[in-house]
Amino acid sequence: MATTLRKVGLWILLFLLMILTACEEEVSPKNEKKEPENERVADSGDKLKIGFSMDTLEEERWPRDRDFFKEAVESLGADVMIREARGDDSLQIVHAETLISAGVDVLVIVPHNAEAVATIVNKAHNAGIKVISYDRLVKNSSVDLYISFDNELVGELQAKAITKLVPKGKYVYIGGANTDNNAHLLKQGVFNVLQPLIDKGDIQIVYDQWSENWTPENAYANMQAALKTNNNEIDAVIAGNDGTASGVIKALEAQGLANKIPVAGQDAELAAAQRIVQGTQAVTIYKPIKTLAYEAAKAAIKMAEGETVKTNRKMNNGKLEIPSLLLTPIAVDKNNIDDTIIADGFHQHDQVYEKPAE
């Protein structure tokens, strides 16, 4: 009898174990499917996140870039995280690492130092994040896209405008920051135009120097040295941008030469537009920044969604031929200032034609 009961109990135990195992097999697959489905629903509700690492906001144009880019990204339904490095390479790298850690889908960089920030591109790629080089090309890196204006053409437009005014004479070139690839592209464009005239003997370059960090103060010191070296006998000046042009013009004013020597800049800053009206600056180059910011934002969203961005050039950055989207700049002088930067609302008429303080 006892043996019979033990056998019955064993059979009952085996039966219960079979039922329990069957239940586990039935429940487990459902649970395994349910968790990823919940994760996908959560992911699909998240907005894309674009990181924007900026060199500086000190010059007039960069707050415009920041605001237009933010406006464009948000209008496309994504979020943007913006960091400004205040011209500090180390801080820009730290900021980029912060954006990468925050899980941005695409990182957009305005590099302070074209060489130093190559490490940012590597860090981003290691995290599976694509990188756009905004306005300035990151050198010696595998950056995914470069979007800017045709900076070589900017230099060519500067030189064409000045040589039209001064076809022969002594020229000074006051460049931007040697660490900025754009400064080199601008200079290349300038000398594309000047070199044939130099070879003919029509133009002589009597002073040629970079201005560290693009500052007007460094450009002012350079222009002072140029004037001293040449006993004020200078016929024309081409400056890297409107900020450096302001330093040049300040040095000319100190010698009573403002309005007498044509000066070219670029960026279409308000102060430059005012100087053109007043006659102390001959030309600036207008680069519609809103167009640049919106194109960069659209490209960032497309890249984040795995789409291909249409480009129109390839630019060599010392390592690779980088797919590039280059926009067209416009030369502005007193004859077309109303039809360009004022007509576009880039600056207001009353601001441009504002009389200088007595």
Dump pLDDT digits (tens) for 228-266. Answer: 999 999 999 999 999 999 999 999 999 999 999 999 999
pLDDT score recorded for residue 107: 98
User: What is the percentage of the chain residues whose pLDDT exceeds 70?
Assistant: 86
Looking from the CA of 35 toward its CB, the CA atoms found within 13 Å total: 5
What fold characterizes domain 151-287+331-352?
Rossmann fold (3.40.50)
Mean of pLDDT values over 256-280: 97
**Token code pair at residue 355:** 């009389």
What digits encode the pLDDT tens for the residues 81-95?
Answer: 999 999 999 999 999
The pLDDT score that the predictor gives to residue 37 is 31
The full DSSP string for 307-325 is PPPP-SEEEE-SSSEEEEE
Q: What are the helix (H) ranges across the chain?
A: 2-45, 61-75, 89-101, 118-126, 151-165, 181-200, 216-229, 242-254, 270-278, 289-304, 349-352
Query: Rounded to the nearest 10 degrees, what angle do helices 61-75 and 289-304 cross at?
Result: 40
What topology is assigned to 49-143+289-327 in CATH?
Rossmann fold (3.40.50)
Whole-number pLDDT of residue 302: 97
Query: What is the residue extent of each domain of the chain?
Result: 49-143+289-327, 151-287+331-352
**49-143+289-327 and 151-287+331-352 have identical folds:** yes
Confidence of residue 354 (pLDDT cuts 50, 70, 90): confident
The pair of structure tokens assigned to 327 is 């926009």
**Does the pLDDT value for residue 24 go beyond 60?**
no
For residue 296, pLDDT over 90 is answered with yes
Average the pLDDT over 348-353 and give the result. 95
CA 188 to CA 314: how far, in whole Å? 17
Whole-number Å distance between alpha carbons of 263 and 255: 15
Tens digits of residue pLDDT in 167-221: 999 999 999 999 999 999 999 999 999 999 999 999 999 999 999 999 999 999 9
Minimum mean pLDDT range among 114-123, 153-162, 217-226: 114-123
Structure tokens at 50: 């674009």
Q: What is the pLDDT of residue 9?
A: 53
pLDDT of 8 above 80:
no
The token pair at 210 is: 């970079």
| Helix orientation angle between 118-126 and 89-101, rounded to the nearest 10 degrees | 10
Looking at residue 39, its pLDDT comes to 30
